[in-house]
């Protein structure tokens, strides 16, 4: 089976509503960073979720880093889909590590992540950063 | 609608199409204004986008001048600072038949505790079948969670077919 191509979308100051994306097949590590409030969430996230599904069929472990310091409620629906994909992977024997980085100045984010944990049944490492 | 701002407590205001790039620029300005109060600033930022993106998507008055934008709902917003709190309001035209649904949403959200709202958000995060699957609704639930205050709203009929909907969220300055 051919390896998946990595997805790299760098941050762009002109379009801050799209997060930067780094989905690295060889490293087994995926990162979403920045903000997420684009007009069409499905169009942006569906290809990422398709990639993730294909990845989960081929590999045994994954590290997923969320470095999103703002996302709107429409994006949160897609983030939940990512969690559900990872949960399915775990149920099929995959090893999953999720790290969520949040700013000290955003205590509401902790509650939001706790709700993702509750909704998906997955553990998340909450990592506080200065700022 | 006639619009005039004479109150010095108004820190930022806009009227026109709510294109995403306009909102993004305004939000950047908002961050700058409240950068020394980061917790308040984060709450304002989140509420700002939930309110304004609802206008962009669901306003009954649309501007389709630029085809590369998917949503061009027209409305206005004001950000007002008074008595150690910041109030963000948006106003937009809605169809008259949507008024009662919006009133029901806002009333329902104001009766719920933050914990109940978090549970409700979890429920609404999953797509619902039928007309109740409103993206606008989950946005208002999110505002109810973040604001820590009651949501205020007002609906003024504009003839038989339309109405003006104003929604306000208050953030206490921390």
Write down the ipTM of this complex. 0.93
The radius of gyration of chain B's CA atoms, rounded to the nearest angstrom, is 16
CATH number at residue B96: 3.30.565
pLDDT at B30 over 70: yes
The domain limits of chain A are 7-11+22-104+117-129
Are residues B43 and A74, on separate chains, in Cβ contact within 8 Å? no
Which residues, listed in sequence order, are joined to residue B78 by a DSSP beta bridge?
B13, B89
Closest residue of chain B to A38, computed from CA coordinates: B20
The B-side interface with A (CB below 8 A) comprises 20, 24, 28, 38-39, 41-43, 45-46, 49-50, 53, 56, 69-71, 118, 121-122, 125-127, 135, 138-139, 141-142, 145-146
To the nearest whole number, what is the mean pLDDT of chain A?
96
User: B-chain residues within 8 Å CB-CB of A118?
Assistant: 122
Helix H or strand E encompassing A87: helix A73-91
In a domain, B3, yes or no: no
pTM: 0.94
Per-residue pLDDT, B1: 53
Query: Quick check: is B67 in a domain?
Result: yes
Q: Where are the alpha helices (DSSP H) in chain B?
A: 20-33, 38-58, 99-110, 114-125, 135-147
Position B4 in a domain: no
pLDDT at B8: 84
Nearest residue on chain A to B125, alpha-carbon basis: A77
Min Cα separation B160/chain A (Å):
31
**pLDDT score of A1 more than 80:** no
Smallest Cα–Cα separation from B61: which of B105, B24, B95, B103? B95
pLDDT tens track for B131-168: 555 567 899 999 999 999 999 999 999 999 999 999 99
Residue B50 sits at φ, ψ, to 5 deg, of: -65, -45
What's the number of domains chain B is made of? 1
Confidence category of residue A71, pLDDT binned at 50, 70, 90: very high
* Model pLDDT, residue B137: 86
> Token pair for residue A80?
């939940």
CB neighbourhood size of B52 (10 A): 25
Q: Which residues of A make CB contacts under 8 Å with B? A: 16-17, 37-40, 70, 72-74, 76-77, 80, 103, 105-108, 111, 115, 118-119, 131
């Amino acid at each position: 089976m051919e390896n998946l191509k990595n997805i790299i979308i760098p941050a762009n100051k002109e379009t801050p509503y799209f997060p930067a994306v780094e989905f690295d097949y060889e490293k087994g590590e995926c990162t979403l960073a920045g903000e997420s409030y684009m007009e069409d969430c499905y169009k942006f996230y569906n290809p990422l979720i398709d990639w993730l599904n294909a990845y989960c069929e081929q590999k045994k472990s994954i590290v997923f880093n969320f470095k999103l310091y703002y996302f709107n409620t429409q994006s949160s629906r897609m983030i939940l889909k990512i969690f559900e994909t990872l949960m399915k992977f775990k149920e099929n024997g995959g090893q999953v590590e999720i790290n969520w980085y949040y700013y000290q100045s955003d205590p509401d984010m902790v509650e939001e992540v706790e709700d993702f944990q509750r909704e998906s049944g997955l553990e998340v490492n909450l990592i506080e950063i200065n700022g | 609608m006639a619009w005039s701002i004479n109150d010095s407590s108004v820190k930022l205001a806009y009227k026109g199409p709510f294109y995403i790039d306009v909102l993004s620029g305004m939000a950047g300005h908002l961050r700058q204004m409240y950068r020394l109060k980061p917790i308040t600033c984060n709450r304002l930022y989140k509420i700002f986008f939930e309110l304004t993106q609802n206008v962009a998507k669901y306003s009954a008055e649309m501007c389709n001048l630029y085809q590369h934008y998917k949503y061009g709902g027209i409305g206005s917003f004001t950000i007002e600072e008074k008595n150690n709190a910041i109030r963000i309001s948006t106003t937009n035209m809605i169809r008259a038949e949507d008024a009662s649904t919006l009133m029901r949403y806002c009333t329902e959200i104001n009766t719920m505790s933050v914990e109940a709202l978090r549970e409700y958000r979890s429920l609404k995060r999953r797509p619902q079948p039928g007309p109740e699957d409103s993206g606008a609704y989950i946005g208002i639930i999110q505002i109810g969670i973040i604001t820590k205050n009651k949501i205020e709203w007002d609906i003024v009929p504009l003839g038989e077919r339309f109405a003006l909907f104003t929604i306000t969220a208050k953030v206490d300055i921390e």
